[in-house]
Amino acid sequence: MRLRFLLPIVGFVVVAIGLGVGLTLKPREIPSALIGKPVPIFELAPVQGRTAGLSTSDLKIGKPVLVNVFASWCGPCRQEHPLFMELARTTDIEIYGLNQRDTPEDAARWLETFGDPYDKTGADLSGRISIEWGVYGVPETFVVDGEGCIQYKHISVMTREVLEAEILPRLRGERHVPCEGT
Amino acid sequence: MIGELGHFAIILALAVAAVQGTLPLIGAQRNMPALSAIAQPAAIVQFALIALAFGALTHAFVTSDFSVLNVWQNSHTDKPMLYKISGVWGNHEGSLLLWVLILAAFGMGVAVLGSNLPPNLRTRVIAVQGLVGVGFLLLLVFLSNPFARIDPAPLQGNGLNPLLQDPGLAFHPPFLYLGYVGFSIAFSFAVAALIEGKVDAAWARWVRPWTLAAWTALTVGIVMGSWWAYYELGWGGWWFWDPVENASFMPWLLGTALLHSAIVVEKRDALRTWTVLLAILTFSFSLLGTFIVRSGVLNSVHAFATDPARGVYILLFLVIAIGGSLALYAWRAPTLKGGGMFAPVSREGALVLNNLLLVAATATVFIGTLYPLFLDAVTGEKVTVGPPFFHATFVPLMIPLLAVMAVGPMMPWKRADLAGTLGRLKIAGVATVVVTLVTLYLAGVKDVLAVLGMAIATWLIMGALVDIGERTRVFRTKAGDSWRRATNMPRSAWGAAIAHAGMGVAILGMTGSLAWETEHLQIMRPGDRIEVAGYEVQFDGVQAARGPNYDAARGTFRVYRDGDLVEVMQPETRRFANPPMVTTEAAIRPRNFGDLYAVVGESNGDGGFATRIYHKPMINWLWIGSLMMAVGGLVSLSDRRHRVGAPARKRAARTTPTRPAGQTA
């Protein structure tokens, strides 16, 4: 038996182990490590054409806020966007947008096209800050309490069900998780 | 009652598949004709049973039988009939049933059409196909029963995701599965050949039409999905590098490689072990795609509702099917002798390069898709891989592939003269230089990819034309003689030329729509006019409208050219009640192979509406070119040698050293 014929199966074994471990990770679930931790220290300029940037101090305003990670190249973001537009129109919830790995022009155009529900935006052009936030895929949505402590994280498209069952209660201060090591 | 009948039918199908997958294998091995003879009728019965179950589920959807859990979860009485039917496969259980239906249909195809196959090979192919069927029927019967009941039956269903209520997407999964699952036949042939220890030109001649059919269906399926994204997601893109899109793209890339390497086995009896490996890998990637879509390991909008038990089961099945076949490969492949020799510069050499680049491209997409998962598994670190990664890695691999694509078919087998081949392509070369210069003049040097795209598209289209011209000696001999040569030319050569030209045409569309689109975003009030790419577009306001199961806000745009009304465009924003969701319906009007694309959005609360109007020049070439590829596949499939079963005769002919190069595909 020549060794090169073994290469495909060796490669497959590696992939299969990876998939097996991956199966236990459940990407849609909140990595518990992030919950109850303070938000990372960061400061970002706003998306092109906007004035209010986003930094750590904006997340410690005494009332809970919503942080939505979006990008113009992300199809699913388009799908959840009307929900945030509705929230911005009908409630006084502070909604912040973290724009991940976009070009300034594309991001601005996207917001002008679909509407801008964000009170403040941060342009994370390199994606560095998103990684510190533990962003896995776009879109993602965080609830941060009034002291800058991450309360909840939803991965993938925001739906009305998740909004009503998980997000709104936490924005009202329910199910509060105490902050570790501020 | 009918539901229980369907349920019972899939249980019986599982039993039949288990018989089909075991006894004939023993029969073929021990030379017991009584056992081998089970294979054919078993394949036919298995298909009939699954078809019965599929009919039963369709009946439940059409009659809105909400006592069936699956119907209740995914249907609604207000839904139009088309989407009641497409609702059958718009969910995990139903789509899995469609999967096994197609799998069984292909198995039956070999049983019914394979009369020219050596009996033992046919028996083994049908048996392996049966084993794959067992794997999926187990999942269907034990973990994904589409016929589960609820008691008491609710009066109304939950409805289908409105994004999926679209004619483009309604027929996207059946084509996709025809492709995905069609590669199972290539896989079964490969495993059967490994068991038999024999891969020869005749084997390749049988594998190729099946692969070609699957590839054609997959091409159509991917184009439909992309077309859907273009007009339904409402922002003009047509490919998002989403994990689920990638899951269908990887088998397509490998299937393309397999199509080409099978030619080498058939014509030159070389690359045998490589082709067998490709056949296994192509279907393995189809299985992997199924795992990605159904296990929830990766995030995607397209993914089905996931269940950890299913993920574990599919992974187990992957390990047995892929691991088993690759172990068989490691054990048996060394005994398969390599065939004909060839020089690096030759038709074979060009096809090897094609294969290397396609496999490398597949690896790129694979890494981009699964890297976040693996990094998370190994280090716990979380990253995202977006389109920027794919643009930086995939595109550079495609450029040499496309450049060689025009040259390969012009090369003779065994040894080619590169200078001579390029010399015959000089018309294509001249055309490419001209188009490049014209593009440079019009677009400037800034837009490198646009210039490159136009150059490659011209090179491919002209290359295909030159290829046909060379074969028919058009303009160099009498018209009647050319006509005779054209009608005698093998259909596979026509197919290759059409498909290669189609690729060029599609690239034209990609380039044009990306490089020269114009986009106008603005708040418009009724009566406002703007100019878009030479058209005057007037906004007439927004009216409320009602659809069968949604309310819509319908905007009206009048499009004028030189003062004449040429189009009325009515994009909509639709609000569905069940389930609650808003979708955008862009209005799209093809104008001279470019699209005018209009979307109406949010009201600003002050009489104005956010509107978007795009002009996407040449975009329709993308769809036309992709369909040309599929047509090329069909034309090649109709080639005489796939229909005439004369393996023995051809095998004898193979001993003559080379056949006239220009006559082969």
The pLDDT of residue B663:
38
Residue B556, SS3 per DSSP: strand
Q: Which of A40-49, B35-44, B166-175, B361-370 has the lowest mean pLDDT?
A: B166-175
Highest mean pLDDT among B48-62, B229-243, B568-582, B611-625: B48-62
Phi, psi of B552 (to 5 degrees): -130, 150
For residue B86 the two structure tokens come to: 């497409």
pLDDT at B305 over 60: no
The residue ranking higher by pLDDT, A93 or B294, is A93
Residue-level pLDDT at B647:
43
- Average pLDDT, integer, range A36-61: 89
Put simply, the answer to whether A27 touches B234 (Cβ < 8 Å) is no
Least confident of B72-86, B498-512, B554-568: B72-86
Mean of the per-residue pLDDT values of chain B = 86
Assign A181 a pLDDT band (cuts: 50, 70, 90).
low
Distance from CA of B190 to the nearest CA of A (A): 15
Mean pLDDT, rounded, for B494-522? 90
CA distance B373 to chain A (A): 6
Top pLDDT among B474 and B65 is at: B65
Structure confidence at residue B236 (pLDDT): 65
Chain B residue closest in CA terms to A108: B521
> What is the average pLDDT across B139-156?
88
Contact (CB<8Å) A31/B382: yes
Q: In which residue are the tokens 């060839």 written?
A: B342
Beta-carbon separation of A113 and B580 below 8 A: no
Is B372's CB within 8 Å of A31's CB?
no
Shortest Cα distance from A101 to chain B (angstroms)? 9
Interface of B with A in 363-392 (CB under 8 A): 370, 372-374, 376-378, 382-384, 386-388
Please check the confidence at residue B472 and state whether its pLDDT lies above 90. Answer: no
Residues of B in contact with A157 (CB under 8 A): 301
Please tell me the distance in Å from B657's CA to the nearest CA on chain A: 29
pLDDT, residue A125, reads 84
| The pLDDT value given to residue B297 | 64
Partner residue opposite A82 with nearest CB, options B322, B374, B582: B582
pLDDT score recorded for residue B548: 82
Residue B464 has a pLDDT of 94
SS3 B600: strand
Put simply, whether B195 touches A (Cβ < 8 Å) is: no
Strands of B269-378 (E only): list them: none
CB < 8 Å to B326, chain A:
8-9, 12
Nearest CA in chain A to B238: A75
If one compares B170 and B324, the residue with the highest pLDDT of the two is B324
Mean pLDDT, range A66-95, rounded to an integer: 87
Query: For A37-49, what is the mean pLDDT?
Result: 89
| Whether the predicted pLDDT of B59 surpasses 90 | yes
Q: Which of B34, B184, B179 is nearest to B108 (CA)?
A: B184
Q: What is the DSSP string of chain A?
A: --GGGGHHHHHHHHHHHHHHHHHHH-TTS--GGGTTSBPPP-EEPPSTT----EEGGGG-SSS-EEEEEE-TT-HHHHHHHHHHHHHHHH----EEEEEES--HHHHHHHHHHH----SEEEEESSSHHHHHTT--SSSEEEEE-TTSBEEEEEES---HHHIIIIIHHHHTTTTPPPPP--
Q: Using the predicted structure, report yes or no on whether residue B360 has a pLDDT greater than 90.
A: yes
The span from the CA of A170 to the CA of A164, in Å, is: 10
Interchain contact, A113 vs B318, CB within 8 Å: no
What does DSSP assign to residue B338?
Answer: P
Residue, of A108 and B603, whose pLDDT is higher: A108
CB pair distance less than 8 Å for A137 and B330: no
- In a mutagenesis test of the A interface, which of B326, B366, B520, B606 is the best target, namely the one with the most A β-carbons within 10 Å? B326
**Is A18 at the interface with chain B, CB within 8 A?**
yes
Contacts of A21 in chain B (CB under 8 A): 377
Q: What are the pLDDT digits (tens) for B404-434?
A: 998 888 888 888 888 888 888 889 999 999 9
- Which residues 568-627 of chain B have a CB within 8 Å of chain A? 580, 582, 601-602, 610, 612
- When mean pLDDT is compared across B10-14, B160-164, B470-474, the lowest value belongs to B160-164
Q: Is there a contact between A22 and B382 if contact means CB atoms under 8 Å apart?
A: no
Instruction: Give the pLDDT mean for B82-99.
Output: 89
Nearest to B383 by CA among B367, B372, B391, B369: B372
- Encode pLDDT of A108-152 as tens digits: 888 888 889 999 999 988 877 887 887 766 788 999 998 889 988
Q: What is the pLDDT at residue B657?
A: 39
Q: What is the pLDDT of residue A79?
A: 77
Instruction: Indicate if the pLDDT at residue B629 is higher than 70.
Output: yes
Give tens-digit pLDDT for B327-338.
999 999 888 876
Q: What is the mean pLDDT of residues A38-60?
A: 89
pLDDT of residue B77: 85
Q: In B, which residues are within 8 Å of A75 by CB distance?
A: 229, 233, 237, 240, 242, 301
Q: pLDDT at residue B129 above 50? A: yes
For residue B163, the chain A residues in CB contact (below 8 A) are 79
Position B342 scores a pLDDT of 81
Residues in A closer than 8 angstroms to B237, CB to CB, are: 75
- Answer yes or no: do B327 and A76 touch at CB < 8 A: no
A3 and B CB contact within 8 Å: no
| pLDDT value for B656 | 39
Q: Which of residues 92-121 of A touch B (CB under 8 A)?
A: 100-101, 109, 112-115
A-proximal residues of B, 399-458, CB under 8 Å: none
Distances in Å between the alpha carbon of B537 and those of A97, A136, A154, B543, B545?
33, 42, 41, 18, 22
